[in-house]
């Protein structure tokens, strides 16, 4: 969303806070009471120094079968960079992290399907009526359906199937989300922030236009294995680049092309400034495009 962590802090400073429309934002402070994230970062005397800051590497985030070993090595190298900045870095085990994709799928597929069919639930002050109508119209047009992206079709088909066959799935996944949130909160009593790889591999190439749905899905298997958890739990998570790697497939192979590798920095609820502080220090001390 931004080129630098500092710019990201300015963006967050501008958009954060309740909007008095969406009930998911009601617990947030009013915009005028949001910390001045950009100003806070600019006021730090020695922004590269992280003495005493405790950083936890989520052990399970490095154990997914789809994780490119080079991405793992890049993350561990970034962690070593934190140590050189004075931070205390240790590994932390959060077993439910590995179940995050399953929990998220139960909410995102069923919930996404129900939202597209029936509209959003809750005390929202604005409904996306026109957008939802477009979704509904597409269900009754073979031509529009064929043009839909495979992941969108996946939401409809899996959501409809799960709603019919497993009507309690959404409720169970929602409750497990709370359990997952508690697990991260427990880890964050011992650490200031947690880190994981962002995506498990560098960006893949596009499929051929006539590729089958399965071939398209293969390009993104496991893509959100370390990110979807925080969509569910609400913890602030900053994704930032930490290096470059050559692609393993696609037209860029053997041509000197390199693509970014990302790291997530995750913090406690309402502690966005700590997340930004840690990311800002690392960014100032490293030239990620050369790593």
**pLDDT value for 213:** 84
**pLDDT value for 120:** 73
Cα 264 off chain centre by: 8
The helix (run of H) or strand (run of E) holding residue 276 is: helix 272-285
How far apart, in whole angstroms, are the C-alpha atoms of residue 108 and residue 229? Answer: 11
Which bin fits 128, alpha (ψ -120 to 50), beta or left (φ > 0)? beta
Q: β-strands 237-245, 193-197: how paired?
A: unpaired
The helix (run of H) or strand (run of E) holding residue 240 is: strand 237-245
| Residue count of the chain | 291
Tokens standing for residue 224: 């959100």
What helix, strand, coil percent values describe the chain, rounded to 5? 50, 10, 40
**pLDDT value for 129:** 81
Contacts of 177 (CB under 8 A, 6+ apart): 103, 104, 107, 232, 233
**pLDDT value for 16:** 95
**pLDDT value for 121:** 74
Superfamily of domain 44-290: Amidase signature (AS) domain (3.90.1300.10)
Tens digits of pLDDT across the chain (291 residues):
999 999 999 999 999 999 888 888 888 999 999 999 999 999 999 999 999 999 999 999 999 999 999 999 999 999 999 999 999 999 999 999 999 999 999 999 999 898 888 877 777 777 778 887 887 888 888 888 888 888 888 888 999 999 999 999 999 999 999 999 999 999 999 999 999 999 999 999 998 888 888 888 888 999 999 999 999 999 999 999 999 999 999 999 999 999 999 999 999 999 999 999 999 999 999 999 999
- Domain regions of the chain by residue span: 1-43, 44-290
């Amino acid at each position: 969303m931004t080129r630098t962590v500092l710019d990201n802090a300015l963006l967050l400073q501008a958009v954060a806070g309740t909007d008095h429309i969406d009930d998911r934002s009601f617990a947030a402070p009013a915009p005028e009471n949001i910390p001045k994230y950009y100003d806070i970062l600019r006021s730090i005397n020695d922004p590269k120094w992280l003495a005493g800051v405790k950083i936890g590497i989520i052990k399970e985030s490095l154990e997914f079968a789809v994780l490119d070993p080079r991405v793992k090595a890049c993350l561990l190298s970034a962690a070593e960079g934190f140590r050189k900045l004075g931070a205390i870095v240790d590994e932390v085990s959060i077993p439910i992290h590995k179940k995050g994709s399953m929990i998220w799928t139960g909410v995102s597929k069923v919930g996404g399907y129900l939202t597209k069919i029936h509209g959003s639930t809750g005390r929202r002050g604005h409904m996306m009526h026109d957008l939802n109508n477009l979704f509904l119209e597409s269900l009754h047009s073979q031509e529009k359906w064929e043009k839909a992206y495979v992941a969108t079709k996946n939401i409809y088909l899996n959501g409809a199937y799960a709603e019919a066959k497993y009507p309690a799935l959404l409720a169970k996944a929602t409750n497990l989300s709370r359990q997952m949130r508690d697990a991260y909160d427990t880890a964050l009593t011992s650490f200031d922030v947690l880190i994981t790889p962002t995506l498990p591999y560098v960006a893949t190439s596009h499929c051929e236009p006539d590729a089958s749905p399965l071939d398209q899905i293969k390009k993104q298997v496991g893509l959100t294995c370390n990110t979807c958890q925080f969509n569910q739990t609400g913890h602030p998570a900053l994704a930032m680049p930490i290096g470059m790697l050559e692609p393993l497939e696609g037209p860029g192979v053997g041509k000197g092309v390199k693509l970014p590798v990302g790291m997530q920095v995750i913090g406690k609820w309402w502690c966005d400034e700590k997340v930004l502080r840690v990311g800002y220090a690392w960014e100032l001390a490293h030239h990620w495009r050369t790593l």
